[in-house]
Homo-oligomer: A and B are copies of this chain.
């Protein structure tokens, strides 16, 4: 694993990196390895698009899929990668004309839960 590779996961996951990889590994060790080495180590590590934009794109894709847990992880990742809360909100609002309201509402519910959890436990890292 290259240092650069570790850095992108670190930027997105922060202090939750170990927990997330352990959860995936408990599901299936090879699933975890593919997430770590292909999704993050290969695709996400690519240069050519800044991480903030990548994470906003990821949030839109996860709103489309209706995957609440992964969406919350990448809403946090977008904020960690330098997107403002306003930019995250704009990304979710842009989902409305493409996906309709139900998917957008479900995505905002994840954002609300994320912001609430951050208020309760604000840390420099997370």
Q: Which A residues lie at the B interface, using CB under 8 A? A: 24, 26-28, 30-31, 34-35, 38-39, 42-44, 46, 48-49, 53-54, 56-58, 60-62, 64-67, 70, 86-87, 89-106, 108-109, 111-112
Contact = CB atoms under 8 A, between A and B. Distances in A.
A43 B96 contact: yes
Contacts of A62: 98, 102
Contacts of A27: 105, 108-109, 111-112
Protomer copies: 6
List the 7 closest pairs (A to B, CB-CB), nearest first: A49-B90, A39-B97, A27-B108, A67-B102, A64-B64, A61-B98, A100-B100
Contacts of A103: 65, 67
